[in-house]
Amino acid sequence: MEILERFDDGSVIALLEIDKLHDHEQIKQDMLSQLVAEIKKDKEVKYPLIVDKYSNVVLDGHHRYHALKELGCKFAPAHVIDYYDPHVKIERWYPIIKTRREIKSVFKALENDDYSVDQVENEDVLKVVLDLGQACLGLIVENDHEEYYLAYKHHCNFQEAMQVVERAIEIEGKRKELDYIGDEKEMISILKSKEARMAIVTPQIKKGEVVEKGAKGNPLPAKSTRHVLPERKYYPVSLMDLMPK
């Protein structure tokens, strides 16, 4: 590890060997292609990855990580932090669905795949049951007021349930990308304004699971985690400095 800069909180900007890093989330191929082209054009990486200093798991910058690998780099610039610092938090993304037709398709697809879908009293109950591992997905539906549902079946996991949801909103054989909202209050506001008709709530992923998935090379689906991390540091590094010496 070649340290480029140290900070008062104990974190550092460093060049790390790419082959020693582990990603914990899958990526989207179209975003990767765009980023590879951008880095080639700029001949530099503007923002370092954010990496846990204990496990070498990439916490932020999965597309940059894969782009640098594709470009043949040996090193990656990284802001190396303590993942278990209490200031580093892990939150949810909220996928949203915009039309009633898509909502009906989602409910039908889940039921056709042997999921039970039951209504519950409120969002607190929904999250508690999800986080106890007793359901796969939560569904918040705007129907002049919020309605809350849980989807579950024996031995289910949220990755498989999300695949069912994604298949359900395919349009004319072409998958429609879900929009993701990072802030819960914003998600509720969007539902109340009827800009969207449904939000999906996934179980809260724990830090230990992130590290385990990364270390075992079994990454979670894209947008499974939303990390609240130190401010992304603008620290341009030349592409040439990342190539094998």
Are 213 and 45 within 8 A, CB to CB? no
In the predicted model, what is the mean pLDDT of residues 21-44?
Answer: 94
Architecture of the domain spanning 2-88+230-242: Alpha-Beta Complex (3.90)
- Segments of the chain assigned to CATH 3.30.1760.10: 93-201
Residues 49/52/58/59 CA torsion (nearest 10 deg): -80
Q: What is the pLDDT of residue 168?
A: 87
Name the segment(s) of the chain with CATH classification 3.90.1530.10.
Answer: 2-88+230-242
- The pLDDT assigned to 173 comes to 54
Query: How confident is the model over 209-232, as a mean pLDDT?
Result: 90
Higher pLDDT, 22 or 172: 22
What contacts 184, CB < 8 A, 6 or more positions away? Answer: 92, 94
pTM for the whole structure: 0.86
Strand partners, 116: 152
pLDDT at position 35 over 70:
yes
Nearest Cα to 233, choosing from 78, 17, 75, 53? 78
DSSP for residue 94: E
What pLDDT, on a 0 to 100 scale, did the predictor assign at position 169?
83
Q: Cα angle at 41 between 36 and 45, to 5 degrees?
A: 65
pLDDT tens per residue across span 152-210: 998 878 888 988 988 888 754 556 678 999 999 999 999 999 999 999 999 889 999 99
Unique residue bearing structure tokens 């008062």: 8
Q: Which residues pair with 15 in a beta bridge?
A: 2, 77
Q: Which CATH architecture has domain 93-201?
A: 2-Layer Sandwich (3.30)
